[in-house]
Amino acid sequence: MLLGCNSGGKDPEKVFLSKMVNLGKGFLDVFVAFSDMITETLGIKAYTKKSEIGTYFSKIAETMESVKNKLQTEVSKNGKYEKVKTVVDEFVIGILDRIATGAKEAAKGATTDAAIGSAKQNEDAVPGDTASVISLVKGIKEIVGVVLKDNEGNAEATKTGNTEQKSIGKLLGKKDDGTEAHAASASASVGAVSGTDMLQAIAKSGEAANNEIKIEEAKNVAEIAAAKKDDDKEFGDTLKDKDAVIAGGIALRAMAKNGRFAAKQDASYKYANAVNGVVASAVSKVLSTLTIAIRSRVDLGLKEINKVLGEIKQGEGSAYRINE
């Protein structure tokens, strides 16, 4: 039989629906508040610490898990609403869990108190730690697989000239190679592509086997991040017409443990400042785009849940009522 209202108590269906509607609103409030919070921490500067990037990813994971727990707790109290339970479970397993898993993995790759823009005048470049690079690629790939469609962003996007693209490799070498011209070429590559292009380039990257990869042999984002220092070397032909890959590699090297770029000596620090400015721009572009994509995908999932709630509220879900 169907349970209805009685004079001695509240209609359990109305109570449940009220809770679910409030939960949906509460979830939106939590996520918006979280987004506002990380927007503040994402005022990326050259002096932003790598560990702060790790904290950004950790907060994403924590928020996804908090929302998951709130949803599952409420649904477990009203388990006989199978369609609601099904759509919530799909949202949790297919979206929240995967974002959290990717964020936890990425957080492992962004550590230490070194700045993302750690190029110093008259100092050589340093490759990103291989394990850190691999964690960042794996984590971001997992998140991108959830929040971006295959046709959003292009890992092969490119606009700048081949000569300039290849010259960016010198930022991975000796101290005399980090000039304004090299920084300008890097800035052009970062500016030529979108954040989604860079995210797709990271997601589609192979892994870096070790730190013995030569600059001229680097062929993907991970290998750019982990390539060893070598004097007076440029990128090889493999990275011609690959602005998205180069830009993604710059961002990844900056976030990874130990990763650093070369900067030529100058009393005014203009070379180091130019290089570090490009680095900050690349990282900011990747993470701000990722934040927006996560918010959009979670919002879509919430709308799907709200649609089911609306059907029940309008009487279209009579089959989901509590039966005895």
- Reduced to 3 states, what is the DSSP secondary structure of residue 301? helix
Q: Any idea what the Cα angle at residue 48 is, between residues 38 and 270, rounded to 5°?
A: 140
- Confidence (pLDDT) at 5: 45
All structural domains of the chain with their residue ranges: 12-111+290-318, 130-288
Token pair of 212, please? 């013995």
- Confidence (pLDDT) at 70: 80
Q: State pLDDT tens for residues 221-232.
A: 999 999 998 888
Q: State pLDDT tens for residues 47-67.
A: 999 999 999 999 999 989 988
Q: State pLDDT tens for residues 102-132.
A: 999 999 999 999 999 999 888 899 999 999 9
Token pair of 112, please? 């230490």
Tokens 């109570």 correspond to 15
Mean pLDDT across the chain: 86
Task: Return the sign of the alpha-carbon dihedral for residues 114, 117, 121, 125.
Answer: positive
- Of 154, 161, 165, nearest in space to 246 by CA: 165
Burial pattern 138-163, b for ≥16 Cβ within 10 A else e, equals: bbbbbbbebbbeeeebebebbebeee
State the Cα–Cα distance between residues 278 and 187, nearest whole angstrom: 5
CB 251, CB 264: distance < 8 Å: no
- Of 320, 322, 181, nearest in space to 263 by CA: 181
- Confidence (pLDDT) at 18: 74
- Of 22, 110, 30, nearest in space to 62 by CA: 30
Mean pLDDT of 167-192: 92
pLDDT band at 1 (very low <50, low <70, confident <90, very high): very low
Greater confidence (318 vs 160) lies with 160
Tell me, letter by letter, the H, E, C secondary structure of 70-105. Answer: HHHHHHHCCCCCHHHHHHHHHHHHHHHHHHHHHHHH
